[in-house]
């Protein structure tokens, strides 16, 4: 141990900014506990720039005190710029207190705001939230999001994460459009859309789970990662759903990574099995298709069609959802001539929840034959359907047909 004198010198030399930095790393409760150290420390915690009420905060009180009683006094004691406020505790319900808390927050410093309502009715966001002009990140769960008339957008917002949020169709598109710096948009189980318009010049990442009939990308030159999944099949009401979707996606000049559910493509087959798409997804490098049933020729042909129309695809990931074994699907796949289209750029394939039934195996064999540059095929067996750890699957697939590299690159993971 060092001599007491030099230690004390060290600590008395700690500038305030360092204390703030250390305090910022402490969870809220520990930071507040420092108030008891000495008179000098009594209100050091009140300038901490973040107030996070989360699962860990909640756990410490185990129902002795309700969160509602604590937030107001803490906010009242708080001084200095509040940069981050997060409220995400289990079993939290909407209450009028929330609006009182928002009233206490300085609207010109908050950059990161999270409000997570777990139970009961959605919370109607107070208009004051829309005066938080410094917001970079906004995360809402179970709220009603209704910007006031004339709202000009959060012009510094980078990251918007909405889950179970009620949106107003007429104003949402213009809201997104007004947030010119937006880079990440996540919408999970929000209001259903007839037409979802995305006009977002800096958007790089979009994740959507819910319902829309059409999606239109206006001016999204940087969008490189898109994940779309539908919570209901009811959207498939008319013709051309799938081709509209693919058309919209093909307008994205930077699209590199795409996730879709396989059934979203099925309507490409409504006028007969497609060979190729009228558009090419030239920039697509990574494709993930989930919920693939392997039970309908339409599904298989549309999937192959999409793969063939992505000439620069490097990685393919398929999450299977196979229940019934349909013989005609296996036959259809065997009939596909692999030489029709060589997937020269495809390097990795991941097959997840793989049951090893004939249609799946034929699909894999087709890929092994067509992907001349394939380096790795990884298969994750579906534990409910495969009892031998994938051994029989592996035996059937190796050595792969037309083994160009003459080494085994199929593996069970």
Q: Where on the chain is the footprint of another protein (CB under 8 A)?
A: 1-2, 4, 7-8, 10-15, 17-18, 21-27, 29-30, 32-42, 61, 64-65, 70, 73, 77
Minimum distance, C-beta of residue 137 to another protein, in the bound complex (Å): 19
Minimum distance, C-beta of residue 307 to another protein, in the bound complex (Å): 30
DSSP 333-402: HHHS-GGG---TT--EEEEEEE---HHHHHHHHHHHHH-TT--EEEEEE-TTT-SSTTHHHHHHHSSPTT
| Token duo for residue 76 | 């009242």
Sheet bearing 143-145, strands edge to edge: 123-124, 143-145, 166-167
- Give every CB contact of residue 303 below 8 A, 6+ residues apart in sequence: 262, 265, 289, 292
Minimum distance, C-beta of residue 60 to another protein, in the bound complex (Å): 8
Instruction: Give the nearer residue to another protein in terms of CB position, either 26 or 144.
Output: 26
Nearest Cα residue to 211 out of 254, 246, 255, 245: 245
Minimum distance, C-beta of residue 41 to another protein, in the bound complex (Å): 7
Helix, strand, coil proportions of the chain in percent (round to 5)? 35, 25, 45
Q: 3-class SS at 260?
A: strand
CB atoms within 10 A of CB 218: 13
CA atoms 390, 391, 392, 398: torsion sign? positive
> What is the Cα–Cα distance from 214 to 1, expressed in whole angstroms?
68
Minimum distance, C-beta of residue 79 to another protein, in the bound complex (Å): 14
- Residue whose tokens read 């947030």: 179
- Residue whose tokens read 């083994």: 403
Instruction: Give the nearer residue to another protein in terms of CB position, either 18 or 195.
Output: 18
Instruction: Give the nearer residue to another protein in terms of CB position, either 58 or 166.
Output: 58
> What is the Cα–Cα distance from 202 to 208, expressed in whole angstroms?
17
Instruction: Give the nearer residue to another protein in terms of CB position, either 8 or 233.
Output: 8
Minimum distance, C-beta of residue 12 to another protein, in the bound complex (Å): 7
Instruction: Give the nearer residue to another protein in terms of CB position, either 23 or 284.
Output: 23
Instruction: Give the nearer residue to another protein in terms of CB position, either 33 or 119.
Output: 33
Minimum distance, C-beta of residue 70 to another protein, in the bound complex (Å): 5
Minimum distance, C-beta of residue 69 to another protein, in the bound complex (Å): 8
Minimum distance, C-beta of residue 267 to another protein, in the bound complex (Å): 41
Instruction: Give the nearer residue to another protein in terms of CB position, either 64 or 232.
Output: 64
DSSP strand pairing (137-141 vs 159-163)? parallel
Instruction: Give the nearer residue to another protein in terms of CB position, either 11 or 335.
Output: 11
Nearest Cα residue to 89 out of 65, 59, 113, 69: 59
> What is the Cα–Cα distance from 305 to 275, expressed in whole angstroms?
6
Bridge partners, residue 350, by sequence: 317, 378
Peptide bond into 399 cis (omega under 30): yes
Instruction: Give the nearer residue to another protein in terms of CB position, either 29 or 152.
Output: 29
Residue 122 Rama label (left phi>0; alpha psi -120 to 50; beta): beta
Instruction: Give the nearer residue to another protein in terms of CB position, either 43 or 404.
Output: 43
Nearest Cα residue to 350 out of 380, 308, 391: 380
Minimum distance, C-beta of residue 141 to another protein, in the bound complex (Å): 24
């Amino acid at each position: 141990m060092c001599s007491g004198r030099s230690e004390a010198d060290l600590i008395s030399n700690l500038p305030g900014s360092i204390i703030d930095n250390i305090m910022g790393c402490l969870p809220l409760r520990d930071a507040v506990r420092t108030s008891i150290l000495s008179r000098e420390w009594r209100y050091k915690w009140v300038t901490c720039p973040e107030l996070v009420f989360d699962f860990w905060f909640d756990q410490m009180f185990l129902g002795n005190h309700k969160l509602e009683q604590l937030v107001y006094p803490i906010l009242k004691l708080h001084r200095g710029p509040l940069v981050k406020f997060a409220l995400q505790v289990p079993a939290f319900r909407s209450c009028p207190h929330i609006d009182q808390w928002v009233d206490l927050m300085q609207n010109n410093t908050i950059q990161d705001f999270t409000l997570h309502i777990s139970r009961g009715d959605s919370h109607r966001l107070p208009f004051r939230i829309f005066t938080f002009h410094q917001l970079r990140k906004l995360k809402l769960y179970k709220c009603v999001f209704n910007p006031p008339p004339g709202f000009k957008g959060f012009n510094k917002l980078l990251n918007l994460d909405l889950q179970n949020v009620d949106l107003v169709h007429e104003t949402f598109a213009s809201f997104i459009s007004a947030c010119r710096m937006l880079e990440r948009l996540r919408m999970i189980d929000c209001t259903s859309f007839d037409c979802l318009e995305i006009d977002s010049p800096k958007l790089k990442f979009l994740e959507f789970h819910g319902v829309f009939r059409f999606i239109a990308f206006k001016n999204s030159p940087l969008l490189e990662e898109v994940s779309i999944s539908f919570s209901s099949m009811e959207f498939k009401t008319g013709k051309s759903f799938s081709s509209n979707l693919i058309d919209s996606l093909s307008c994205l000049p930077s699209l590199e990574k795409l996730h879709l559910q396989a059934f979203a493509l099925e309507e490409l087959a409504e006028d007969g099995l497609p060979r190729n798409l009228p558009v090419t997804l030239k920039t697509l490098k990574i494709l993930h298709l989930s919920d693939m049933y392997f039970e309908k020729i339409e599904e298989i042909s549309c999937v192959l069609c999409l793969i063939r129309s992505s000439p620069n695809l490097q990685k393919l990931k398929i999450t299977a959802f196979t229940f019934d074994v349909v013989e005609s699907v296996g036959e259809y796949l065997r009939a596909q001539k692999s030489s029709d289209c060589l997937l020269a750029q495809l390097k990795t394939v991941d097959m997840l929840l793989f049951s090893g039934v004939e249609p799946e195996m034929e699909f894999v064999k087709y890929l092994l034959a067509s992907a001349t540059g394939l380096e790795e095929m990884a298969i994750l067996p579906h534990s409910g359907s495969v009892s031998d750890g994938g051994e029989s699957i592996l035996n059937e697939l190796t050595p792969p047909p037309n083994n160009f590299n003459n080494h085994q690159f199929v593996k069970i993971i």
